[in-house]
Amino acid sequence: MDFRQLGLDPRVLRAVDDAGYTEPTPIQAGAIPVILSGKDLIGIAQTGTGKTAAFTLPLLTRLATEHSSPGHIRALILAPTRELVVQIHDNVRAYAQYLSLGVATVFGGVGEKPQIEALRRGADIIIATPGRLLDLMARRYGNFSGIQHLVLDEADRMLDMGFLPAIRDVVRQLPRRRQTLLVSATLSREIEAVTREFLQSPQSVEIGKRSNPAETVSQAVYEVPRHLKPALLQQLLRDPSLEMVLVFTRMKHGADRIARRLEQSGIRTATLHSNRSQNQRLRALAEFKDGAVRVLVATDIAARGIDVDGISHVVNFDFPPAPEDYVHRIGRTGRANAVGDAISLVSPDESDDLRTLERFIHRALPRKRLEGFDYSAPAPAPTPDSHRGPSHRGPRPQGRMSRDSGPGDRGPRPAGGGGRPGGGPARGGTFRPRRFR
Ligand code: AMP
């Protein structure tokens, strides 16, 4: 199938050519004609399937041809995190480079003045996180009465993060006659309820099941006392094949501590968690993407929705209690590698979580031991630093939001059980995105 057969605007096609895409991904082939026809759409697809272009390309085509009144915002894209907003914005700008459309972003954690200005001027497209947008709408910034298109991207994550009330408040202020597109990695009962609430006679496009990354990614478990995890990580990183490493920790303090230790041993490391300012987080991501830092230490929530190509290894420094988080984390890598693309450091207090995961994915993970590592080294005498955080873990925090306060502008509400509602490994297409380095 060729992009030219889908009915996209020639200027959009030119941008697609520039991006180097030769053929549409399954979600693009399925969704683009539906969106161009003006119907509401439920797209079941996850990051990495080409979902952003699937809704952006037809949206731009429609905006390029539809009537517009000056000052009116015509399309609103809602996404769960600042990072995702920035990513969608980058995509939209690239695909819209031959069109004269105004695009602006709205998200928390940064000064609101430029965003207020953009809302006042009225961009054609606003890409926003729900919290900050609602805040600005409540203060009457922006004219939303001309909205023709609404996109709810990563709707399942927005629900997980407690954004439903904010989304409801935003949507209440939009015209009823509009096209609504909802993209989600899973079709849970909650998502179905949301589609009934916000969409009208939607068509669904669900791309073929992708094999569970827990089955295809090469994985390894290192059973190790908790106090030896930092030393083991440091030693594992002596292997140069661990080129671009995403390390997950449960708590933001843990992330900082690991990063400090790695930096001290000469390994360039950045951190990504909700205590860092927006600029610090964007800088950390950029440095990781362009190879200036080798290791990025992140909490689950801060790392959500982030699509970084070329990650060679994911390391679970803390083992995630929710199997869905494990599957989500290790889906970030994808190279066959001798030591395992996904490495989990599992201490005795986490062995129940490991067993839960193994039941969930219906297989046992291979156990490995690092040659020459002293697994019996005693715990060091406590230092003032070790009292501050939970590296010597106390009682497990309840609910996922206690792990990181989350990147939502208003602070998302606790999600309760910890796993994604309607759980299970996310489904997506068999498409593997191009790797841009
Ligand atoms: P997304 O699922 O939107 O996060 O996209 C994942 C990656 O796939 C991004 O780096 C896109 O630039 C890339 N991509 C999107 N559509 C195509 C396509 N048709 N061919 C090749 N790469 C694509």
Residue 422, pLDDT above cutoff 70: no
Q: Which residues make Cβ contacts (< 8 Å) with residue 67, sequence separation at least 6? A: none
- What's the mean per-residue pLDDT of the chain? 83
Q: What is the dihedral of CA 33, 39, 40, 46, to 10 degrees?
A: 0
How many whole angstroms from 18 Cα to the centroid of ligand 1?
13
Q: In testing the pocket of ligand 1, which one of 2, 5, 25, 432 has its CB within 8 Å of the most ligand atoms?
A: 25
Supply the pLDDT for residue 45.
Answer: 85
Give residue 367's pLDDT band: very low, low, confident or very high (50, 70, 90): very high
Residue 211, pLDDT above cutoff 60: no
Give 338-366 pLDDT, tens digit per residue. Answer: 345 899 999 999 999 999 999 888 788 99
Q: In testing the pocket of ligand 1, which one of 21, 57, 304, 306 has its CB within 8 Å of the most ligand atoms?
A: 21
Supply the pLDDT for residue 213.
Answer: 67
Across 37-46, 62-71, 73-82, 391-400, least confident range: 391-400
Who has greater pLDDT, 432 or 379? 379
Instruction: Kindly state if the Cβ of 53 falls inside 6 Å of ligand 1.
Output: yes
One CATH from 3.40.50.300, 1.10.10.60, 3.90.1150.10, 1.10.260.40 for 3-206 = 3.40.50.300
Give residue 418's pLDDT band: very low, low, confident or very high (50, 70, 90): very low
Hey, whose CA ends up nearest to atom 20 of ligand 1? 21
Instruction: Kindly state if the Cβ of 24 falls inside 6 Å of ligand 1.
Output: yes
Q: Beta-carbon neighbour count of residue 423 at 10 Å?
A: 16
Q: Answer for the pair 284, 299: CB distance below 8 angstroms, yes or no.
A: no
Supply the pLDDT for residue 71.
Answer: 79
For residue 190, what is the enclosing H or E element? helix 189-198
How many whole angstroms from 362 Cα to the centroid of ligand 1?
31
Question: For residue 284, how many C-alpha atoms fall within 13 Å in the half-sphere facing its CB?
Answer: 25
Across 133-142, 210-219, 339-348, least confident range: 210-219
Supply the pLDDT for residue 212.
Answer: 62
Q: Answer for the pair 377, 231: CB distance below 8 angstroms, yes or no.
A: yes
Q: Answer for the pair 318, 248: CB distance below 8 angstroms, yes or no.
A: yes
Assign a CATH topology to domain 217-372: Rossmann fold (3.40.50)
Most confident of 186-200, 336-350, 389-403, 419-433: 186-200
Give 148-167 pLDDT, tens digit per residue. Answer: 999 999 998 899 889 999 99
Give residue 412's pLDDT band: very low, low, confident or very high (50, 70, 90): very low
Instruction: Kindly state if the Cβ of 210 falls inside 6 Å of ligand 1.
Output: no
How many whole angstroms from 78 Cα to the centroid of ligand 1?
19
The alpha carbon of 295 is separated from its chain's Cα centroid by a whole number of angstroms, namely: 18
Supply the pLDDT for residue 411.
Answer: 36
Who has greater pLDDT, 125 or 336? 125
Domain ranges of the chain: 3-206, 217-372
How many whole angstroms from 80 Cα to the centroid of ligand 1?
19
Atom number of ligand 1 nearest to Cα 52: 3
Give residue 383's pLDDT band: very low, low, confident or very high (50, 70, 90): low
How many whole angstroms from 432 Cα to the centroid of ligand 1?
8
Instruction: Kindly state if the Cβ of 51 falls inside 6 Å of ligand 1.
Output: yes
Give 216-257 pLDDT, tens digit per residue. Answer: 678 999 999 999 999 999 999 999 999 999 999 998 889 999
User: Do 3-206 and 217-372 fold alike per CATH?
Assistant: yes
Residue 395, pLDDT above cutoff 50: no
Supply the pLDDT for residue 17.
Answer: 94
